[in-house]
Structures are given as C-alpha cells and as structure tokens.
Structure 1
Amino acid sequence: MDVIDTWTGRTACALQSALRMTNDGFADHLGVAVRTVAGWHSSPDIVPRTEIQSALDTAYERASASVQRRFSLLTRPSPAAIEAQALRVAIAVVLRGDDVLLVCRRGDGELHWQFPAGMVKPGADPATVAVQETHGETGVHCRVREQLGERVHPVTGVVASYYLADHLAGDATNRDPLENVDVAWAPRSSLTRFIPEQSIYPPILEALA
C-alpha cells in the first residue's frame, strides 16, 4: 500500500476515481461538502486542511486492495514527472527581526504567498541562488545563516532546498511583476494566515518558533 505524505486536490481526485464515486458520493464518504470535492477538481494543487487529510488517509486505508491498486496506477508518475524530480529550487526564509519575507505569486488563476525561490541550474550553489533570487525578486539583500533541509516537494515534485537567512539591507519591493503580484514582510507569528500550516516545511516552523 502506498503512503501519502500530503494529499492534494490531484491525489484526492485520484482516490475518488479509484473508488468510482461521484462528487456527491465522495463528499458523503469523506464527510465534507460537495463544493470541497469540486474545488479539488478545479484546483488540483490545493492542499486540504489537516482534518480532511486525516479523512482521506482513513478512506484510502479502508479501501479494498483493488481500489488501492487503481489509485497507485492513477498516481504513478509519468516520465516527464520523474524527470522533473531532477530539477532543484532554492528557497530563502529571510528574517528581519520578528518578520519573514514573502512573495505573492500568480498561477492557476489564484494568488499564492510563498518564500522567495529560484531554480538551481546544474553546477550552481543552491545557497547562492537563494540569495541572488531573493534580491532579484524583492530587492532585499540577505545572508544565509543555515540550511534547514531538503525534500522532494509534495506538489511540484522538484527537489527543494530550504535556507534560513538574515536581512542585511534593502526595502521589500516587487521587482518581478510578471510573476509576482506583491512582496511583504509578514509577522512570523502570523505566517499561517498567508501560507496554510500543512503546506509549510516543518523545519521552517521550528526555526520560526
């Protein structure tokens, strides 16, 4: 049986298909609103709330072996997705006192608050990329304090390297208006108002505690 680290709209819909259920039937099976299931179909990258994650875990674990096999086939990575896992991004968690730097990105018809990040080209140093991309996106100069860890991102499938950094100079301004709508210093105590807690890499929460 596969183990799902973090459910997304995409994997939830795959479970629905494996169970051969309608939106109404799947919503009733999980104990959620029908509009919630419909939202997963329209926004496959969305990450459900913690209690719904648990409901999806239970539904999957209680499913028959044939349902679990169908789910495995439906979620098996395509060759393109496997290749994408070789891609790497560097992510900067920049602190200025009690604030943390965020960018608001466009994408999929929605706005998403994230930490500054950039693609790491072969041979490049991820920590250096994190610093350079932060300045390129926001005008903020920072210095890496430590690496927080690395994981295969549960939504994008790329290798993500996370760095805790300190603000050195520069005001936060949107220097990449094609990709970002806004940049902001957010109180670290209010971070989960901008990014859902279940979407944040746990070592980040520990570092900001």
Structure 2
Amino acid sequence: MRMTNEAFAERLGISPRTVSRWHSSPGMVHRTEVQQILDTAYDQSGEAVQRRFALLLRPPAPRMEAQALRVAIAVVLRGEDVLLVCRRGDGELRWQFPAGMVKPGADPATVAVQETHGETGVHCTVREQLGERVHPVTGVVASYFLADHLAGDAANLDPLENIDVAFVPRAALTRFIPTAQIFPPVLTALEATA
C-alpha cells in the first residue's frame, strides 16, 4: 500500500510496534483475528495494490548460471589402434581425439559418441569416463571418455573441420600428439588396455 509502518498500523487499528515486528519476522504465523484484519485490508486495497502484492509473493526466477564451455572427447579403441582426427586451425594441422561441444543440459558421454559418429562414421560405445580438465590449449573444460569401436570404417565426414581421420597404432600415438599434450589418464588407460 506504500504506507509507513505508522500509517499502516493506524489503518489496521493496531500498534506500530506490531507492524515493525512483522517486518523483522516475515515468516511469522498470525493469530486468526490478526489474519482477518489483514485479509480485510487486502480485500479493500484495490486492484493495483493486490497486483503488487501478488508479485511480491511470486517465487524468485531461477538464476541462470554461466557455464564454462565444455567438450566431450572420445578415445576410441579398435584392437591395438586408436581413432584420431586431424583438425584444421590457425594455419597448422593438429591431430587429436574426436571431440564435440557439449550444450547445457546434454550428457557429455552421449555427445562423445554422437560427435565421433558424425565426424568419422565410426560407431562406438563409452566404456568409462577418464576424467576432466581445463584443456591446456583451448581453455575449455574437457571430459574424456574411453570408448570401444563397434562398427564403421574411419572416414572424414566433416571436411570443413577436419583434414583426415585415421585409426593409428597406439604405440605410434605420440608421433601424432605430443606426450605433454595428452591428458595423463588417457595415457594410463591406453597402457592398461594394451
């Protein structure tokens, strides 16, 4: 009603101290007779006041949290080979594991499988998550998944983004990607499954 505590108390016929207590304890449950006085004041307040009051009772809108960019990376094994894609970028070619951007609410493991198929034609299934890190080159949150080849030959299905796609021997992986750039749990997993 846009009144001072004193004016509101006078309108209700109660003590200003009582109104002050209501402000200091908003969750207070009122006695029946006090609630009847408040209900009557509300009914007599007019449509504009009732609209403002309804807005105050509405729960706050959910806060939108900023999310870091996230990628899902698939380390796909086929026997002794691992699947790599050769990306275009910054005038140089970079070999890496298939990866895709994870949109808010999407499951990173599902994105890893879908992006692998979309880029390479290879069907795979996630065996386990190997961990996450902030990628040292791109600065995005990277989720790594160890995956098994199910079907399909490696083919470059995304020529705008990739130059080549290939299964390479695990023993030769560091000729394509420098050891320092490979997430250590990936190396551990590749050694354990060899």
TM class by shorter chain equals 0.5 to 0.7
> Among the aligned pairs, what percent are the same residue?
85
Instruction: Indicate the residue corresponding to 1:183 in structure 2.
Output: 165
Instruction: Indicate the residue corresponding to 2:113 in structure 1.
Output: 131
Instruction: Indicate the residue corresponding to 1:159 in structure 2.
Output: 141
| Whole-Å separation in 1 of the counterparts to 2:80 and 2:140 | 30
SS of 1:105's equivalent in the other structure is strand
Instruction: Indicate the residue corresponding to 2:188 in structure 1.
Output: 206
SS of 1:136's equivalent in the other structure is helix
1:142: Cα distance to partner? 0.1
What TM-score does the superposition give when structure 2 sets the normalisation length? Answer: 0.64
| Whole-Å separation in 1 of the counterparts to 2:139 and 2:132 | 12
What is the CA deviation profile of residues 120-158 of structure 1, one whole-angstrom value per residue up to 9, with x for unaligned ones?
000000000000000000000000000000011112111
After superposition, residues 1-209 of structure 1 pair within 5 angstroms as 86-209=68-191
Which is further off, 147-156 or 129-138? 147-156
| Whole-Å separation in 2 of the counterparts to 1:87 and 1:195 | 23
Give the superposed CA RMSD.
1.0
| Paired AA for residue 134 in structure 2 | V
| Whole-Å separation in 2 of the counterparts to 1:109 and 1:157 | 19
**Size of the alignment, in residue pairs?**
126
What is the CA deviation profile of residues 2-49 of structure 1, one whole-angstrom value per residue up to 9, with x for unaligned ones?
xxxxxxxxxxxxxxxxxxxxxxxxxxxxxxxxxxxxxxxxxxxxxxxx
Which ranges in structure 1 are unaligned for 5 or more consecutive residues? 1-82
Max radius of gyration: which structure? 2
Which is further off, 159-168 or 85-94? 85-94
